[in-house]
Amino acid sequence: MSGFPFHSLREFIAYLDSQGRLVRNSVEVDLRGEVAAISRKIGLTDGPAVLHESIKGYPGWQLFTDGLTTRERQAWALGVEPGEIGGRVSRFLADGHKMKPRIVDDGPCKEIKLLGHHVDLIRLPVAYTGEFDVPPFISAGISNAKDPETGWQNTAVRRFQLKGRQLLNHLLLPFQQEGMIFQKWRKLGKPMPLSIVVGTDPLYYLASQLPAPPQVDEQDYWGALTGEPLEVVRSETNDILVPATAEIVIEGEVDLDERRLEGPYSEFTGYYSGVRYFPVIRVKAVTMRRDCIYQNIYNAQEPAEGGNIGYLMTEIELHRQVKAIIPELREIRILSCWGLVLAVSIDKQAVRQKAGIVKKLFMAIKSAPASQFVKTVIVVDDDIDLRNVQHILWAMGTKFQGSKDITVIDGAPGCILDPSEPWIQRGVGYTSITLLDCTEKPPPYDEPYKRGLSIPPLDAIRRVDERWRDYGFA
Amino acid sequence: MVTTVHWLTGDLTPLQQARVRMLENREWLDDNIADVQRDYANKWVAVLDRQICASADQYPRVLEAVGDRLEEAVFLRVPEGEIARPI
């Protein structure tokens, strides 16, 4: 495909425009609800990306959303066909290729520099997502922090709640890599420098979601995936490297001691997170491109861009981890909520030949590091198309008996954002995990199975495939 | 050298001015959350002018109370009990 690799958000926007997958909206939009409602509808309809060119109360700004909402656009960002995404990224991760960024002296992201008291976050067109996330969150911020001991730079999509004209709240979790880096800065007694990138090429967003092990910078994946190094510049107030073509870079320091209430936030489950105490970022500088484009990622009840980006990467990584234990695994697809419901296909012959392999697969999935949110697993044979929910339900309808094909394990690791968790007296983060075994069971079959699948003759199906366009179908 | 353009340094728009007040109201709520929890746990509250301007069991009631000052108001369903501090 042409266009790949995209070196900036603007290149990607131009490509989407050329493919008819961009709407340039000149109607004034309201940051309070309207931007989110448009993204919601785009998600529900597999709609195009949108560049809002007129923002109420924010003259001069443009706001871009939904660049990566669909698998088609995610594939464009990765330079592959939609059906090739999983294989391409899995091979890439298995190869372990990395390429260091190339540091350049200057870049478009420094066309405008606001330092110290000139910084005013109020002037950024930060959009609301849910009705109750007040103040709103910067939802498309990619956080970059450096390990003070080794110099390793970690890159990850985070959320940042506006808390003051030079203050942000930072959801910093102790079990995540950035949280571990923060603990090292705390030992040193120094605030943690941070650079937040808002608005950049789509591969940078996807690469930041890849599961790099500690001491591996996700930025190195960009070069390995494209075959050319990512051009980066040093931040103004710290030595963190950021893409030279970024639209906005917010630089600051994470306070070691001060905590403020973060949340509520509209989460991928479609419900809100609660309020909790998290560190604050004191913003020291903002640099940006002239006529810069603010990027927003809608994150709420699916389908939504935020979840769709994460789902893709989770599916790929979970597949890689489980395949190493169960080679008979075929495909993995998140059906809902980052894996709260997961569909998995397995080699149909293996189910017949290897006793207990479906349960072994179930246990392997929940044991994999990438399965943090997995709660309900639907296992089907590999003749079921996981992209087709009706096929999955057909397998459930015809191959599944509740009395013998359900396995439940209580007290397993869960997701604190799952509102169905029975947390009383046990604490959040525990859940029941469930296997729904919808594979065809070994013989003896009942009578209907003996006659085989009810479909037209195979040669007729083949002939129709060949002549599909002749009939007048596009 | 600091380079700026008008829309980054000129006067704030009315909406941006309202957002400044909204941030002040949220700061007040954060600073006074213990008292707010004591008096309004499990209720919805609306904050305007750095004070609770309305409380109710249902969100629409507090929304209604802020009238045309929506952009500067802060709303919260007040949690009960200790608020977690994960890091």
Q: What crossing angle do the helices spanning A85-95 and A305-323 adopt, rounded to 10°?
A: 60
Nearest to A320 by CA among A87, A22, A114: A87
Put simply, the answer to whether A135 touches B85 (Cβ < 8 Å) is: no
Across chain A, mean pLDDT equals 93
Among candidates A57, A111, A163 on the partner chain, residue whose Cβ is nearest the Cβ of B16: A57
Cα-Cα-Cα-Cα dihedral sign, residues A196, A201, A205, A211: negative
Nearest to A55 by CA among A42, A38, A69: A38
Put simply, the answer to whether A164 touches B23 (Cβ < 8 Å) is: yes
Cα-Cα-Cα-Cα dihedral sign, residues A198, A163, A173, A150: positive
For the domain A73-288, what is the CATH superfamily, name and number? Answer: Electron Transport, Fmn-binding Protein; Chain A (2.30.110.10)
pLDDT tens-digit map of A232-270 = 999 999 999 999 999 999 999 999 999 999 999 999 999
pTM: 0.92
The dotted CATH code for A325-442 is 3.40.1670.10
Query: For residue B68, which residues of chain A lie inside 8 Å, CB to CB?
Result: none
Backbone angles phi, psi at A129, to 5 degrees: -105, -70
pLDDT tens-digit map of A324-366 = 999 999 999 999 998 999 999 999 999 989 999 999 999 999 9
For tokens 């789902």, the residue is A311
How is residue A308 written in tokens? 């769709």
Residue B18: pLDDT band by 50, 70, 90 thresholds? very high
The chain B residue lying nearest A263, using CA atoms, is B76
For tokens 């910084």, the residue is A119
Put simply, the answer to whether A134 touches B3 (Cβ < 8 Å) is: no
Listed in order, the ranges of chain A carrying CATH 2.30.110.10 are 73-288
Put simply, the answer to whether A278 touches B33 (Cβ < 8 Å) is: no
Query: For residue B75, which residues of chain A lie inside 8 Å, CB to CB?
Result: 132, 134
pLDDT tens-digit map of A279-316 = 999 999 999 999 999 999 999 999 999 999 988 888 98
pLDDT of residue A93: 78
Residue A447: C-alpha distances to residues A193, A444, A451, A452 (Å): 68, 9, 7, 10
Asked whether the predicted pLDDT for residue A415 surpasses 60, the reply is yes
In the beta sheet, which residues pair with residue A64? A51, A295
A147, with CB counted inside 10 A (0-12, 13-18, 19+), is middle
Residue A396: pLDDT band by 50, 70, 90 thresholds? very high
Backbone angles phi, psi at A438, to 5 degrees: -110, 25
d(CA A124, CA A359): 51
Residue A94: pLDDT band by 50, 70, 90 thresholds? confident
pLDDT of residue A422: 65
